Structure 1
Amino acid sequence: MMERERIRMGILLVLFGVLGGLVDGVRVQDVSAKMSLNNFFAPSEKIVNGNEVTSMADYPWLVSMGIRTVLGIAFTCTAAIVDETLVLSAAHCTHGVNRSDLYICFGLEFDSSTCRQIEDYVNHPDYVDSDLTLTFGFDLSLIKMPSSLLQDGRKVLMLSTLPVITWTSSASIGWGSTNDNSDPIVLRELDTILVTATGCDLLVGPSADARLVCADGDHDGTAGVTCSGDSGSPLLVLGDNLDDSYSVGVLSFVSVVQGTNECNSENESAYNSLSAASHIEFLEDAAASFGGSLTYAESDECDRDAFFACMEENDLSCALNDQGEDCCAGVETTLDCLAPIIDNCGNQQLINDFPSVSETLMEQCNPEEVACFPGNAVVTLEDGTTKPMDRLEAGDTVLGGDGEFSDVFGFSHRDSTEFGKFIRLEMSADFIELSPNHYLAVGDKLIAAKDVKVGDQISLANGDLTAVTAIHRVQLKGVYNPHTISGDIVVNGVLASTYTQTVNPLLAKLLLLFPKALYKLGLREPLGSLLYKTVPNAIVRWIPRGPSKWIA
């Protein structure tokens, strides 16, 4: 990177940090292949942990972008066909580029021999070329081609102007290359889920608005993320029938781990939302100025205002990591409000997806939720050795609070095959992963993991307090909830309770008195394996739940 570009980036990052744009020790960065203002091109990163696409027939709307350099036409970004002669991409991919130097290219691998020179392009009038302003949206570019693009099976991609519904299955895609110059630049895909701006860990403060939407590639624990070279690509909701597929956004930026150029899979990828009024107006005006028009997934009869109104009080994002009573009541109300509107919107894939997405969202509020530690969590035994949770047995003596050791007398979850959703709390030198409704020691209280905030003081095994520096959602294999005689346990060096919100701790203590007594009389595992998988919902629904905070 040129020296003046490093200085420019440094100034922007300082400003960005002051305004709240730095998130969890990472910085945001556009994900084009451009590395400086001088059109210097370097090899870019691939979609991390995605899959290589084997046929363009699966994505007939996708095209790559190239720019003329002294060495020939070089790859820069990804784009989508949105009209017979129109292509949609990100403004930071085209800003400052001469129209005669910009090309649209075709095929699974980037091949400059397939490239066709563009006729013209227009960027959103409010777009400003800086990393600082990426978080404000407006990163859109509409490109005009001199002739039809609809040959060789290529098609027009529909756009959706409705707000996204969190947890809807989506796909991120792009031509990001590998680190090796000799490797081909090939199309790759990544399974993601949609996340509204307010539920997106990457966005904070004023950036969490309706002009942006996120895609989470790590929702299934695969640490997937878009990266350099994928800019401008559509955020796809793939149809059961190919022609029902549509785009809800245009890829703008990801977070980059400080001190590296690595795209951070612990945060989502940020897209410019196609439901934002300023974005819709720009695209329609730009398309009309080029003599074209856009195709929408929704019919003219769709009541967009009513759709927005349904999501005004609760946009469903709280179901990702809250699951409190207010959140769950709001989620149910919003889903009930949306159902009849979606039925009349004419978006066939949204109609198909809505029942399963609704079920998934409501499952987050189900009292049958897993309350556990993952299988790779580590406990300390009385002899000073450590043991992973998936090898822990009833009868093992483990470290708990105040440096005391206590016997494990049973498990209320013990399943090595199940994948659980956990919250990862990071401190300066430690971390713990536990389910959202599992209690751990915060000061003199036990607080459910989902209610812990950055800056809260967590108790360590030695009694010291340490501040939480970052919070992430992860999905990990194995769900284990051991019960100790003392009611607490040190996991990964952090003091946690064996109690959860699933059952009010006061009631749980009473219920466990009898199995504790049996254990002390010599019965090795009085709880048996009855509760290894789950507690029957018919029972749990009538048991009082614990509060978010509880004084032990």
Structure 2
Amino acid sequence: MFAMTTCNFAAANERIINGEDATSMEATPWQVSLQRFGSHFCGGSLISDMFVMSACHCSQNYVTVNMGSIDYRYPAQQIPVDTFVCNPGYGRFTFDYDYAVIKLSGPATINKDVTPIALPPSGKEYPGGTAALISGWGLTVGGGNTLPTTLQYANTELVDADTCTTKMSKEITNRMQCAGLAGNSACNGDSGGPLAVQDNGVWYLIGNTSFGINNCPLNYPAVWSKNSAVIEWINGEMAK
């Protein structure tokens, strides 16, 4: 397994497998690129003008957040990170509680290309088969080594925990949401990025790309940290 950054239970650092090139940011205006010394290493999601949601395994020093452009190299807005706070329950080897709340050093300018996504209600669950949207600048080919510069996105569906546990041969906890098995997948470089579901016309950030199987095979789901399980913690960090 790997974290969708670069480990063995692998973090998703690769690009969306079998995704499409975004032609504008209007479909996923909450998507951001986390960068260190000008290089993309993880994704994230804008949840207010001052905060970004991502994965704890993406934690780095000297990070900037690029947003508002489908090409992460030429952001419409680039804002340094003030604080990067990991959930205290994060397990480095289990990827449980793989959450990070990032406070920006200044507010993002909200417009059609830069718009926060709503957080789900505490405890909200969606059944397997629910339609979802994934996006990121991770690898587009499992086992590859070149990240795309154009944002990728794909329509996928949620996978229930029992099916995911069986497929992954790993316990899926209540802090994890599986998705995939729909001809596409997240991969290395997508870590921290959004798993979004539209519910009654509102887009909700239900998960942050966490881990998957090495080389991102399409017959296995990938796993996101489930935000509805820790809403109180997220709100507490945003209130500080």
Specify if TM > 0.5: yes
CA deviation vs aligned residue, 1:433-478 (integer Å, no higher than 9, x gap): xxxxxxxxxxxxxxxxxxxxxxxxxxxxxxxxxxxxxxxxxxxxxx
In the alignment, which residue of structure 2 is the partner of 1:87?
Answer: 52
- Residue 171 of structure 1 aligns with an amino acid whose one-letter code is L
Q: Which has the larger radius of gyration?
A: 1
In the alignment, which residue of structure 2 is the partner of 1:196?
Answer: 160
The percent of aligned pairs where both chains have the same amino acid is: 26
In the alignment, which residue of structure 2 is the partner of 1:271?
Answer: 224
1:118 has 2:69 as partner = no
1:155 has 2:106 as partner = no
- Residue 190 of structure 2 aligns with an amino acid whose one-letter code is D
| Pair 1:212–1:180, CA change in 2 (3 A) | closer
CA deviation vs aligned residue, 1:153-173 (integer Å, no higher than 9, x gap): 221111113012221111111
- Normalising by structure 2, we get a TM-score of 0.86
The runs of 5 or more residues in structure 1 that have no matched partner are 1-27, 37-43, 257-261, 290-552
| Pair 1:93–1:55, CA change in 2 (3 A) | same
> 1:203 offset after TM fit, Å?
4.2
In the alignment, which residue of structure 2 is the partner of 1:225?
Answer: 185
| Pair 1:140–1:102, CA change in 2 (3 A) | same
CA contact (8 A) 2:31 2:45 kept: yes
CA contact (8 A) 2:15 2:148 kept: no
Cα distance in structure 2, aligned partners of 1:166 and 1:180: 31
> 1:281 offset after TM fit, Å?
2.9
In the alignment, which residue of structure 1 is the partner of 2:233?
Answer: 282
In the alignment, which residue of structure 2 is the partner of 1:234?
Answer: 194
Cα distance in structure 1, aligned partners of 2:94 and 2:168: 13
Alignment RMSD: 2.2
- Residue 64 of structure 2 aligns with an amino acid whose one-letter code is Y
Cα distance in structure 1, aligned partners of 2:207 and 2:15: 20
In the alignment, which residue of structure 2 is the partner of 1:333?
Answer: none
In the alignment, which residue of structure 2 is the partner of 1:133?
Answer: 94
Cα distance in structure 1, aligned partners of 2:7 and 2:131: 32
CA deviation vs aligned residue, 1:133-156 (integer Å, no higher than 9, x gap): 21xx21000000122113342211
Cα distance in structure 1, aligned partners of 2:145 and 2:129: 35
- Residue 110 of structure 2 aligns with an amino acid whose one-letter code is Q
- Residue 132 of structure 2 aligns with an amino acid whose one-letter code is S
Alignment of 1:310-459 (within 5 A): none
- Normalising by structure 1, we get a TM-score of 0.39
1:51 has 2:20 as partner = yes
Cα distance in structure 2, aligned partners of 1:184 and 1:227: 12
- Residue 270 of structure 1 aligns with an amino acid whose one-letter code is V
> 1:35 offset after TM fit, Å?
6.6
CA deviation vs aligned residue, 1:238-267 (integer Å, no higher than 9, x gap): 3574xx1112111100111xxxxx212111
CA contact (8 A) 2:51 2:102 kept: yes
- Residue 126 of structure 1 aligns with an amino acid whose one-letter code is G
CA contact (8 A) 2:137 2:148 kept: no
Specify which structure has the higher proportion of strand.
2
**3-state SS of paired residue (1:275):** helix
**3-state SS of paired residue (1:58):** coil
CA contact (8 A) 1:172 1:235 kept: yes
CA deviation vs aligned residue, 1:181-231 (integer Å, no higher than 9, x gap): 5x74221112211122223144446x2221111112x33xx3x11101111
CA contact (8 A) 1:102 1:117 kept: yes
- Residue 208 of structure 1 aligns with an amino acid whose one-letter code is I
Cα distance in structure 2, aligned partners of 1:64 and 1:283: 20
> 1:112 offset after TM fit, Å?
6.0
In the alignment, which residue of structure 1 is the partner of 2:174?
Answer: 210
In the alignment, which residue of structure 2 is the partner of 1:250?
Answer: 208
More relative contact order, 1 or 2 (CA 8 Å, 6+ apart): 2
CA contact (8 A) 1:197 1:203 kept: no
In the alignment, which residue of structure 1 is the partner of 2:129?
Answer: 167
- Residue 109 of structure 2 aligns with an amino acid whose one-letter code is L
CA deviation vs aligned residue, 1:39-72 (integer Å, no higher than 9, x gap): xxxxx6421111111110111111111012xxxx
Cα distance in structure 1, aligned partners of 2:155 and 2:220: 15
Cα distance in structure 1, aligned partners of 2:58 and 2:179: 20
Cα distance in structure 2, aligned partners of 1:151 and 1:59: 13
> 1:119 offset after TM fit, Å?
1.0
| Pair 1:272–1:45, CA change in 2 (3 A) | closer
| Pair 1:93–1:46, CA change in 2 (3 A) | same
> 1:180 offset after TM fit, Å?
6.5
Cα distance in structure 2, aligned partners of 1:174 and 1:195: 20
> 1:102 offset after TM fit, Å?
0.6
In the alignment, which residue of structure 1 is the partner of 2:3?
Answer: 30
Cα distance in structure 2, aligned partners of 1:230 and 1:202: 21
Task: Give the number of aligned pairs.
Answer: 227
Cα distance in structure 1, aligned partners of 2:194 and 2:160: 16
- Residue 103 of structure 1 aligns with an amino acid whose one-letter code is T
Cα distance in structure 2, aligned partners of 1:177 and 1:57: 22
- Residue 107 of structure 2 aligns with an amino acid whose one-letter code is S
Cα distance in structure 2, aligned partners of 1:180 and 1:252: 19
CA deviation vs aligned residue, 1:292-331 (integer Å, no higher than 9, x gap): xxxxxxxxxxxxxxxxxxxxxxxxxxxxxxxxxxxxxxxx
**3-state SS of paired residue (2:91):** coil
| Pair 1:103–1:30, CA change in 2 (3 A) | same
| Pair 1:124–1:180, CA change in 2 (3 A) | closer
Cα distance in structure 2, aligned partners of 1:281 and 1:151: 25
CA contact (8 A) 1:177 1:185 kept: no
Specify which structure has the higher proportion of helix.
1
